[in-house]
Amino acid sequence: MEKLLFIVLAVTEIVLVIRSIRTNTSKKEWSLSRAVANVAELFIYLIMLILPGIDFSFRFKGLFILLVIRLLVSVIVVAATRKNEKIKKPVSIVCGTLFGIILIAVSMIPAFIFRDYVGRPVSGQYSVAQSRAILIDETRLEENENDGSFREVPVYFFYPECIDELEPGSLPLVLFSHGAFGYYESNASTYLELASNGYIVVSIEHPYHSLFTQDTSGKTITVDPEFFNSAMEAGSKSEAEVYGITSEWMEIREADMNFALDTLIASAHSGDLGGEWFLTDTSVEEVVKILEGMDTGRIGLMGHSLGGATAVTVGRRGDVSAVVDFDGTMLGEEIGFDDGNIIVNPDPYDTPILCFDSALHHADRVLAEKTGYIYSNNVIMDNASEGYSVYFEGTAHMNFTDLPLFSPFLAKNLGMGDRDPEECIDKINSITLQFFDRYLKGIGDFEIDEKY
Contact of 326 with 400, CB cutoff 8 Å: yes
The predicted pLDDT at position 293 comes to 96
Comparing CA positions, the residue from 43, 19, 45, 22 lying closest to residue 32 is: 19
Residue ending a domain, choose from 69, 90, 113:
113
Which of 82, 113, 144 is at the close of a domain?
113
In a domain, 337, yes or no: yes
What mean pLDDT is predicted for residues 195-201? 98
Residues 250 and 150 in one domain: yes
What single DSSP character describes residue 339? T
For residue 178, give the CATH number of its domain. Answer: 3.40.50.1820
Same-domain pairing of 179 and 263? yes
In a domain, 450, yes or no: no
**Per residue in 409-451, pLDDT tens?**
888 888 899 999 999 999 999 999 999 999 999 998 999 999 9
pLDDT tens for each residue of 113-166:
878 777 899 999 999 999 999 999 999 999 888 888 999 999 999 999 999 999
pLDDT value, residue 2: 80
Q: What are phi and psi of 88, to 5 degrees?
A: -75, 125
Same domain for 386 and 252: yes
| Residue 173, CA distances (Å) to 229, 319, 406, 444 in order | 34, 11, 26, 19
3-state secondary structure at position 301: strand
Amino acid at 177: S
Residue 123 placed within a domain: no
The H-or-E segment that residue 260 falls in is: helix 239-270
Residue 180 has pLDDT above 90, yes or no: yes
- Per-chain mean pLDDT for the chain: 90
Number of domains in the chain: 2
pLDDT at 361 over 70: yes
Instruction: Clarify whether residues 207 and 295 are in a common domain.
Output: yes
Same domain? For 108 and 157 the reply is no
Residue 216: count other Cβ atoms within 10 Å of its Cβ. 14
User: Do 104 and 218 fall within a single domain?
Assistant: no
- Cα 323 to its chain centre, rounded Å, is 20
Claim to verify: residue 216 and residue 313 sit in the same structural domain = yes
State the SS3 of 181-222. CCCCCCCHHHHHHHHHCCCEEEEECCCCCCCEEECCCCCEEE
User: Cα–Cα distance between 367 and 26 in angstroms, integer?
Assistant: 73
Is residue 418, in this structure, part of any structural domain at all?
A: yes
Residue 417 and residue 345 share a domain: yes
pLDDT interval class at 44 (50, 70, 90): confident
Q: Could you tell me if residue 108 is inside a domain?
A: yes
Same domain, 156 and 82: no
Q: Which residues constitute the domain of residue 89? A: 2-113
Considering the domain architecture, whether residues 169 and 306 belong to the same structural domain is answered as yes
Residue 100 lies in a domain: yes
User: Of 65, 90, 113, which residue is a domain's last?
Assistant: 113
Q: Inform me whether the pLDDT recorded for 20 exceeds 70.
A: no
Same domain, 256 and 379: yes
Tell me if 121 is assigned to some domain.
Answer: no
Q: Are residues 308 and 351 in the same domain?
A: yes
**Closest of 450, 451, 398 to residue 421, by C-alpha:** 398
- Number of other residues whose CB lies within 10 A of the CB of residue 203: 28
Contacts 24+ apart (CB under 8 A), 18-24: 20/88, 20/93, 21/90, 21/93, 21/94, 24/87
Question: How big is the chain, counted in residues?
Answer: 452
Give the pLDDT confidence of 371-391 residue by residue, as tens digits.
989 999 999 999 999 999 999
Listed range (199-208, 314-323, 330-339, 427-436) with the worst mean pLDDT: 330-339
Please give the pLDDT value at position 111.
81
- 181 alpha carbon, distance to own chain's centre: 9
Q: What are phi and psi of 259, to 5 degrees?
A: -65, -45
